[in-house]
Amino acid sequence: MPRNPGITDEAIIKMYKSGMPFKEMVSRIGISDRSIRNVMYKHGVKMNREQSSGQPRKHKINENFFKTWSHEMAWVLGLFITDGHVNKSTHSIYFSQKDERILKVIATYLDAAYILASTVPTKITTDTSKSGNPIYRVWLNGKTELQKLARIIYNHTDTENFLIYKRIYMTQHLDNPYYVEDERDVPKWKRKDGKLIHINSGSRIPFRTNISRRTLDSLKIIAKERKMYLNHLIEIGLKNLLAKSEISFNRQIRPDDRVQFKTTYDEELLTNIKRLAQQNNLFINDVIEHSIHFID
């Protein structure tokens, strides 16, 4: 298809660099979008958008951040591997953290503007976890940056050795980072349903049960006042309850506002609580709810 009269290569390049959508360029120039891209290639003009993207990428971000290895770049990369996510429908990634300050540092390192809103290209949003804690996410847009990340993360990795390189990427900012043949002990991981699950080697184990919402709300207030974790506060009551010779509990009065609650407990303490509940013919959530009266 011939060009419209008076349209030169220079005019096409100028339209492209101005951010004009391909659809409008095609109607003005009289040639296909493929022919427009061929003009760009012929003159060595860097293409910053694909055929279907419409507009060039305009979200502010440091284009050179992942080109050079640095302590900051290794730190951000480690966070992306552990707490990052690639959006399946848009050219963007986001990091999830409980501490918003960490996300602000990431945005600063990447020279990306951010704001707590859902109407801007690069943004920090908030959500609430099942336990009621806030989760912050910073969204970073740009296909070019995603491709750079992919080349770095998956350059030498596959499904067999990803865990080896995972620990390497996460420790490059340290004074004594891991390397490929490193034989030092590291936290163990396993694959479950296609996901990487960390095997807990400590004394705490996760446990899920149903607890009164009103009780949880009251405990959260107390935990905040004491500046301690909610599960650690619950454990105080459980330990004091274990010291009692017997439990005086009215089985006819149970809360009607129970919600699912999952947290971690000391493994030995939880085992003793399970045994106590069994000895008194009670459910574990009965014991946990009753233990709040023994928090001192």
Q: What structural domains and CATH numbers belong to the chain?
A: 1-56 (no CATH), 71-155 (3.10.28.10), 204-294 (1.10.1220)
Element (H, E) at 207: strand 204-212
- Strand 92-97 with 258-266, pairing: unpaired
pLDDT of residue 234: 92
DSSP 3-state assignment of 234? helix
Per residue of the chain (296 residues), what is the pLDDT tens digit? Answer: 678 888 898 988 888 888 788 788 888 888 887 888 888 888 888 776 554 444 555 556 776 787 788 888 888 888 887 777 776 666 677 777 777 788 888 888 888 765 443 444 555 566 776 666 776 665 655 556 666 666 666 666 665 666 666 666 667 666 777 777 766 665 565 666 766 566 666 688 888 888 889 889 989 999 889 888 899 999 999 999 888 767 777 777 788 888 888 888 988 899 998 888 888 888 888 888 888 888 98
Residues 6 or more apart from 232 whose CB is under 8 A from it?
223
From the list 252, 253, 241, the residue with the least C-alpha distance to 277 is: 241
Please give the pLDDT value at position 162.
Answer: 60
What stretches of the chain show up as alpha helix (H) in DSSP?
9-17, 22-29, 33-42, 71-83, 100-109, 143-153, 162-171, 213-226, 230-242, 267-279, 284-291
Over the range 15-50, which residues count as b (16 or more CB within 10 Å of their CB) and which as e? Answer: bbeeebebeebbeebebeeeebbebbeeeeeeebbe
Amino acid 187: pLDDT: 57
Backbone angles phi, psi at 226, to 5 degrees: -90, -5
Question: Measured between alpha carbons, how far is 128 from 134 in angstroms, rounded to an integer?
Answer: 5
d(CA 131, CA 114): 27
pLDDT of residue 236: 92
For residue 289, what pLDDT is reported? Answer: 87
> Using CA atoms, how far apart are residues 85 and 88, in angstroms rounded to an integer?
9
Residue among 159, 160, 274 nearest 209 (CA):
274
Q: Please give the model's pTM, rounded to 2 decimal places.
A: 0.38
How many helices and strands, by DSSP H and E, does the chain display? 11, 8
